[in-house]
Amino acid sequence: MGATMRAVDIKGGKGPASALFINEIPHPQPKASDAIVRVKAFGLNRMDLIQREGNYPLPPQAPTTLGVEFSGVIEELGTNPESGFKVGDEVFGLAYGGAYAEYIAISTHMLIHKPKEMSWELCAGIPETWITALQALHLVADLKPGQTILWHAGASSVSIAGIQLSKIAEASAVFATTRSDAKCEFVVKEIGANKAFNSGGDSNWADQVLEETGGKGVDVIIDFVGASYFADNLKALAKDGRMVMLGLMGGLEVPAGTNLGPILFKRLRVEGSTLRSRDENYQKKLRDDLASFALPKFLDGTLKVPIEKVFPWTEIIAAHQLLEGNSTMGKVICRID
């Protein structure tokens, strides 16, 4: 291997999509438990857009290169890798960063063997999305069989995963919000939500949730929006309900006049959660859950990973522009030829 490799970089260190370009950077070196993986494909996530703009606080172990999920081939191993991995293995995995590159140094504790039946592009779109959904659903929200759940941003990749996982977890009803009728139709007909509500404009989606649940509300809400949905989330939750906040796309500051009474009177739990800042042991447990529980269901078709579009990585600007246009109904993937 050479001393350098190609990787996506940002002119000036941060900026719009147009600031992205392919640069030469130092080749990564493996730590004891690491593998060096030659990247075949990588998935795009909204955190990449936020990081590109300079607004994402990186965990200390993360390289500055964008990208947390990928697929590829092991080219080299450190001195103490996890057993079961060898040079030449086809893998996919979750990283703290660095996936927008020809090679990545990644702990073998975060790798999964790639089934031959699954494409590089499909596998590159799984780790961040599905591990985030598994974490939110089971470790944070603790959804029980027979309970109801609402996923905001229902056509986003995490919610597409979460809706399907909620059904497997025997939720009695799975609801979603999106900001277009086309996306509502997609998450019901293609992904399996029981009902989806258009939350665009002056929508009364919280009232519609109450109507669908006979006035009770839902037991769990998974929210990526934050401030602008906060009051309606409290309204739409049932007694002893849980709201898990995974993002703040709708702002940080709750609007003046927001009534916090439901938190007390309905005994609600509001909890924030992140994945990228978690330590490796925590993430490894989720990797194991993904490999043992979800991977067989990808193979038999029970679980779907819709892909909106695959770009050659030389078109990274267009890929970012597509994702930030909020029109996607599936993963955006880049392929390294």
Answering whether pTM is above 0.85, one says yes
91 close to 273: Cβ distance less than 8 angstroms: no
Q: What is the pLDDT of residue 1?
A: 65
Name all domains of the chain by residue range, CATH numbers in brackets.
4-126+276-335 (3.90.180.10), 130-272 (3.40.50.720)
Instruction: Work out whether strand 103-107 and strand 111-113 pair parallel, antiparallel, or are unpaired.
Output: unpaired
- C-alpha distance from residue 89 to each of 73, 218, 330 (Å): 6, 44, 27
What pLDDT shows up at residue 66?
Answer: 98
Residue 19 has pLDDT above 70, yes or no: yes
The DSSP code for 114 is P
Per-residue pLDDT tens for 175-190?
A: 999 999 999 999 999 9
Contact criterion met (CB below 8 Å) for 161 and 129: yes
Pairing of strands 20-26, 69-77: unpaired
Q: Please, which pLDDT band fits residue 252 given cuts at 50, 70 and 90?
A: confident
Cα(221)–Cα(203) distance, integer angstroms: 17
Least confident of 59-63, 107-111, 134-138: 59-63
Phi, psi of 299 (to 5 degrees): -70, -35
- Distance from C-alpha of 268 to C-alpha of 270, rounded to nearest angstrom: 7
Q: In the predicted model, is pLDDT for residue 50 greater than 80?
A: yes
Per-position b or e across 253-266, b if 16+ CB within 10 A of its CB? eeeeeeeeebeeeb
Return the CA Rg of the chain: 20
Answer yes or no: are the C-beta atoms of 49 and 18 closer than 8 Å: no
- Dump pLDDT digits (tens) for 118-145: 999 999 999 999 999 999 999 999 999 9
Q: Angle at CA 124, nearest 5°, toward 122 and 128? A: 115
Name the β-bridge partners of 176.
151, 196
pLDDT tier, 301 (very low <50, low <70, confident <90, very high otherwise): very high
Q: What percent of the chain has pLDDT over 90?
A: 94
First CA to last CA distance, the chain: 17
> In terms of Cα–Cα distance, which of 76, 86, 161 is closest to 127?
161
Q: Are the C-beta atoms of residues 143 and 135 closer than 8 Å to each other?
A: no
pLDDT tens-digit profile of 191-228?
999 999 999 877 899 999 999 999 999 999 999 999 99
108's tokens: 């073998």
The closest of 12, 30, 8, 7 to 20, measured between CA atoms, is 8
